[in-house]
């Protein structure tokens, strides 16, 4: 029992307050984004998403924000936090080292309202690269139990299968900033994920899909996608490895 008060004391840093600046915009009747400021208190562990929900609960119920898992798994809560795309549920206020936290809808995605953006195009480009195993004999015959894979073969793509389709990479990408037809780092990383899978036979099909005027060649290897990815996918690596196949540097 004696331990409990001292532990509590250690964790009891007095709660501090910051200004949370939230972008408000309804494309149906607003001509431009407006910002609303709220003063909120936070603890060391408070996330930006929790702060936004706090504002919704006590000050402005109308703020539109999308979230679900609150643990960097569903990919719903991407937004621009202090200038960079981040997951609101995976970003602690304390790690931002700022007295003002500005949250805006993600760039390069059409705005639904306030912080919520449309994901249709992200999902379309994701689909376009055939994000599933392509195999002649998909039906398992009686003598094969499963498609075997060694741990080394797994290592080739497992990193890229971490993608949660949050779209942060597409929001940071400099090509996406001016070309909305670009297939984008998210889809290109997924093309690599399947091409690198030893069970997959769809390499030629996929390379053909991304060998397009708005395809892989629009990537300039600026690497911003990899810097913002919250799951360590490193799309820039996948894209360059993919291009390595196409240029004949790799087989």
Partner 1 sequence: MTNQDEHKEGIGGMINPRRYGIERVAYLLMRLSGLGLLAYFIGHIYETSSILKGEIGWNEFLEITQTTEGHAILAIVIAMCVFHTVNGIRVMLGHGGVGVGKPARPDYPYIPASQNIRHKMGIYSAIILAAIAMLYGLAVMFGE
**Cα 62 to Cα 101: distance, rounded to the nearest angstrom:** 19
Residue 67, binding choice from ligand FES, partner 1, ligand SF4, none, Cβ under 5 to 8 Å by partner class: ligand FES
> Among residues 110, 108, 107, which one has the least CA distance to residue 80?
107
| Residues 61-100 contacting partner 1, CB under 8 A | 83-84
Strand partners, 79: 86
User: Long-range contacts for 198-202 (Cβ within 8 Å, ≥24 apart)?
Assistant: 198/149, 198/150, 198/153, 198/156, 199/133, 199/135, 199/147, 199/149, 200/133, 200/134, 200/135, 201/134, 201/135, 201/136, 202/130, 202/133, 202/134
**Cα 122 to Cα 170: distance, rounded to the nearest angstrom:** 8
- Contact between 193 and ligand SF4 per CB under 6 A: no
- The 134-163 contact track toward ligand SF4, x by CB under 6 A, reads -----------------------------x
Count of other CB atoms within 10 angstroms of residue 71:
10
Q: Which parts of this chain interact with ligand FES (CB under 6 A)?
A: 67-70, 72-77, 87, 89
Nearest approach, Cβ of 47 to ligand FES (angstroms)? Answer: 9
The stretch among 8-16, 26-34, 214-222, 230-238 that binds ligand SF4 (CB under 6 A) is 230-238
List 56, 70, 130, 165, residue binding ligand SF4 (CB under 6 A): 165
> Among residues 138, 128, 241, which one has the least CA distance to residue 183?
128
**Cα 139 to Cα 37: distance, rounded to the nearest angstrom:** 57
List 46, 175, 186, 224, residue binding ligand SF4 (CB under 6 A): 186
Residue 125, binding choice from partner 1, ligand SF4, ligand FES, none, Cβ under 5 to 8 Å by partner class: none
Residue 190, binding choice from partner 1, ligand SF4, ligand FES, none, Cβ under 5 to 8 Å by partner class: none
User: Where does this chain bind partner 1 (CB under 8 A)?
Assistant: 27, 83-84, 105, 107-111, 117, 155-160, 162, 171-172, 174-178, 180, 196, 220-224, 226-234, 236-238, 240-241, 243-245, 247, 249-250
């Amino acid at each position: 029992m004696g331990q409990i008060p001292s532990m509590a004391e250690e964790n009891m840093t007095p709660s501090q307050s910051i200004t949370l600046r939230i972008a408000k915009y309804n494309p149906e009747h607003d001509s431009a984004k407006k910002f609303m400021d709220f003063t909120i208190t936070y603890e060391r562990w408070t996330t930006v998403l929790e702060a936004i929900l706090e504002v919704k609960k006590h000050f402005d119920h109308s703020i539109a924000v999308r979230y679900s898992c609150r643990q960097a798994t569903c990919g719903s809560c991407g937004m621009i936090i202090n200038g960079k795309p981040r997951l609101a549920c995976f970003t602690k206020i304390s790690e931002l080292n700022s007295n003002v936290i500005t949250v805006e809808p993600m760039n390069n995605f059409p705005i639904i309202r306030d912080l919520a953006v449309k994901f249709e195009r992200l999902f379309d480009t994701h689909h376009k690269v055939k994000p599933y195993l392509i195999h002649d004999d998909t039906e398992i015959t009686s003598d094969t139990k499963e498609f075997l894979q060694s741990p080394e073969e797994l290592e080739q793509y497992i990193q890229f299968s971490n993608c949660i389709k949050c779209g942060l990479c597409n929001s940071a990408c400099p090509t996406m900033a001016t070309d909305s037809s670009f297939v984008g780092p998210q889809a290109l990383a997924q093309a690599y994920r399947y091409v690198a899978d030893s069970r997959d036979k769809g390499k030629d099909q996929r390379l053909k899909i991304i060998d397009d005027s708005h395809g892989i060649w629009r990537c300039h290897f600026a690497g911003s996608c990899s810097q913002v990815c919250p799951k360590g996918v490193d799309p820039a690596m996948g894209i360059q490895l993919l291009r390595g196949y196409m240029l004949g540097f790799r087989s």
